[in-house]
Chains A and B, each alone.
Chain A
């Protein structure tokens, strides 16, 4: 089992959700986050006080998937979230040790 974490631009969330749905990913968790990479921030002005805003709003998607699904998931997210401009985001894949479905108590790949 693998945990696929993707940081994407917020307005791409719907496209990514649809893309994942199409390849059979049953559920995801979405968090609103802030961050920066190579995409620079911008300045905001309040009564003469200029602030450089480094952190940009992003959306983090987490999907727990079977190991053999990972490549398809990466491809789906990349395709849906890509704009070609700096700040499109990143995808991280980490190993998932255990998964439990709370309602039934199922564990392992059955719980995905």
Chain B
């Protein structure tokens, strides 16, 4: 059975194994308990990133009358994506049938239904050196957090039923195919291009970020924006959430090695270094620009750094991580604090500003920082920095176009069928009461 390899430095090894069937039999992977223990842990950490990490990070930033709606959306998405992943999502993303290196066919874009209903995924089936169940669940947590990220863009005005429909369809036609194209292995469109995306700069962040921008434009601004003050109602939640994201992200990045080895160790190290640099960069940028450093700023900076280092975590070195962190901290600060205000769109919680912009910065710099001269693991044989930068750019552009246009279409369809936005009265009353008949605070 073809083992799915994502970001593993042993890709070259598999290529050789493919050419020598007899040798392949002799070198077939067996279960490694160290790798497995780590991957089980990593899966738990990534789930924790969504519930409650992202949930709290976002919840603290909305007004108190909408606090539950954000928590509900994150929790519901977690539940919905888990089930859809098991039913068919895992198959669409990681079924390798019909895939061949350098061959473009339908399976370059999306997997088949060979693994639908998790058929073939048994107690004993392996994915590399870990049980396939663990790999499947680990990937499930990525399929959970990506749609959950989008929630921030249309916070405080999206109808809950429309959200469920949009997310279910988006997961099916946007997330799963992009995951397949980037991580599905030889024959995958972006995999064959040579796009370096270790843990999901394109698949998760640019993908969710552009979908968020499109969504906030389609839904329109919140009532009263930007004149009415809508400050975060509980920055304590936001900082707690950001902290949980930081900690959980080690599962996201170091776990993407799918093994407990040196690459995972370096992924952990560069994640920490980039994030810390970005936090400081945003904090100082704001301090200089506005006059005082803010806690929302430093927390946002950290998240921007986490986003940016994501695609580079398997290939960059520590000094490259500093570069990526600094670029993301400053770039995302400008996007969230300046660009948004200048253009005037209501991306409530800066999904585009942090995830798309951070993801783009990270995805492109991945090409640079992978080079041995930048302290990275080294580019593929014969590849130049310029060449890799172009490949990275192609990956970014493809994701922006595919997800941007696809999200627009899905939103329009859902809008026509059931309507995306709550009524003005419901929006004024607050989503907690109008969508869920509950109050967040009964003091």
Partners in one complex: yes
- Roughly how many angstroms separate A45 CA and B338 CA in the complex, as a whole number? 12
- List B contacts of A48 (CB < 8 A): 336-338, 340-341
Asked whether, in the complex, the Cβ of B226 is within 8 Å of the Cβ of A49, the reply is yes
B95 at the interface (CB under 8 A from A): no
Report the contact-size class of chain B (Cβ under 8 Å from the partner). Answer: 10 to 19
Q: What is the total of A-B residue contacts with beta carbons within 8 Å? A: 28
- Roughly how many angstroms separate A109 CA and B136 CA in the complex, as a whole number? 78
Shortest CB-to-CB span from A56 to chain B, Å, is 14
- List B contacts of A92 (CB < 8 A): none
> What secondary structure prevails in chain A residues at the interface with B?
strand
Asked whether, in the complex, the Cβ of B340 is within 8 Å of the Cβ of A46, the reply is no
Asked whether, in the complex, the Cβ of B350 is within 8 Å of the Cβ of A47, the reply is yes
- List B contacts of A53 (CB < 8 A): 229
Cβ contacts B262-291/A at 8 Å (1 or 0 each): 000000000000000000000000100010
A11 at the interface (CB under 8 A from B): no
Cβ contacts A46-79/B at 8 Å (1 or 0 each): 1111011100000000000000000000000000
A44 at the interface (CB under 8 A from B): yes
Asked whether, in the complex, the Cβ of B337 is within 8 Å of the Cβ of A47, the reply is yes
B137 at the interface (CB under 8 A from A): no
- List B contacts of A49 (CB < 8 A): 226, 230-231, 341
- Which residue of chain B lies nearest to A53 when distances are taken between CB atoms in the complex? B229
- List B contacts of A52 (CB < 8 A): 229
Asked whether, in the complex, the Cβ of B290 is within 8 Å of the Cβ of A45, the reply is yes
Asked whether, in the complex, the Cβ of A51 is within 8 Å of the Cβ of B337, the reply is no
- Roughly how many angstroms separate A53 CA and B286 CA in the complex, as a whole number? 20
- Roughly how many angstroms separate A1 CA and B331 CA in the complex, as a whole number? 65
B294 at the interface (CB under 8 A from A): yes
- List A contacts of B436 (CB < 8 A): none
Shortest CB-to-CB span from B230 to chain A, Å, is 8
B3 at the interface (CB under 8 A from A): no
- List A contacts of B229 (CB < 8 A): 51-53
- List B contacts of A46 (CB < 8 A): 231-232, 294, 296
- Roughly how many angstroms separate A49 CA and B346 CA in the complex, as a whole number? 12
Interface of chain B residues 229 through 249 with chain A (CB within 8 A): 229-232
Asked whether, in the complex, the Cβ of A44 is within 8 Å of the Cβ of B231, the reply is yes
- Roughly how many angstroms separate A44 CA and B337 CA in the complex, as a whole number? 14
Interface of chain A residues 27 through 50 with chain B (CB within 8 A): 44-49
B300 at the interface (CB under 8 A from A): yes
- Roughly how many angstroms separate A45 CA and B336 CA in the complex, as a whole number? 13
B52 at the interface (CB under 8 A from A): no
- Roughly how many angstroms separate A51 CA and B229 CA in the complex, as a whole number? 6
- Which residue of chain B lies nearest to A46 when distances are taken between CB atoms in the complex? B231
B292 at the interface (CB under 8 A from A): yes
Report the contact-size class of chain A (Cβ under 8 Å from the partner). Answer: under 10
- List A contacts of B350 (CB < 8 A): 47
B297 at the interface (CB under 8 A from A): yes
- Roughly how many angstroms separate A53 CA and B229 CA in the complex, as a whole number? 9
Shortest CB-to-CB span from A48 to chain B, Å, is 3
- Roughly how many angstroms separate A47 CA and B293 CA in the complex, as a whole number? 11
Residue among A44, A45, A47, A51 making CB contact with B300, cutoff 8 Å: A47
Shortest CB-to-CB span from A38 to chain B, Å, is 21
- Roughly how many angstroms separate A45 CA and B291 CA in the complex, as a whole number? 10
- Roughly how many angstroms separate A53 CA and B230 CA in the complex, as a whole number? 11
- List B contacts of A51 (CB < 8 A): 229, 231
Shortest CB-to-CB span from B52 to chain A, Å, is 21
Shortest CB-to-CB span from B299 to chain A, Å, is 10
Asked whether, in the complex, the Cβ of B341 is within 8 Å of the Cβ of A45, the reply is no
- Which residue of chain A lies nearest to B350 when distances are taken between CB atoms in the complex? A47
- Roughly how many angstroms separate A49 CA and B294 CA in the complex, as a whole number? 12
Shortest CB-to-CB span from B226 to chain A, Å, is 7
Shortest CB-to-CB span from B143 to chain A, Å, is 28
- Which residue of chain A lies nearest to B300 when distances are taken between CB atoms in the complex? A47
Asked whether, in the complex, the Cβ of A47 is within 8 Å of the Cβ of B226, the reply is no
- List A contacts of B286 (CB < 8 A): 45
- Roughly how many angstroms separate A53 CA and B296 CA in the complex, as a whole number? 18
Asked whether, in the complex, the Cβ of B290 is within 8 Å of the Cβ of A47, the reply is no
- Which residue of chain A lies nearest to B342 when distances are taken between CB atoms in the complex? A48
Shortest CB-to-CB span from A7 to chain B, Å, is 23
- Roughly how many angstroms separate A49 CA and B338 CA in the complex, as a whole number? 9
Shortest CB-to-CB span from B111 to chain A, Å, is 39
- Roughly how many angstroms separate A45 CA and B340 CA in the complex, as a whole number? 15
- Which residue of chain A lies nearest to B292 when distances are taken between CB atoms in the complex? A45
- Roughly how many angstroms separate A44 CA and B229 CA in the complex, as a whole number? 10
Q: Which residues of B contact A (CB under 8 A)?
A: 226, 229-232, 286, 290, 292, 294, 296-297, 300, 336-338, 340-341, 350
- A-B contacts, 18 listed (Cβ < 8 Å): A44-B231, A45-B292, A46-B231, A46-B232, A46-B294, A47-B297, A47-B336, A48-B336, A48-B337, A48-B340, A48-B341, A49-B226, A49-B230, A49-B231, A49-B341, A51-B229, A52-B229, A53-B229
Q: Which 3 A-B pairs have the closest CB atoms?
A: A48-B337, A51-B229, A46-B231
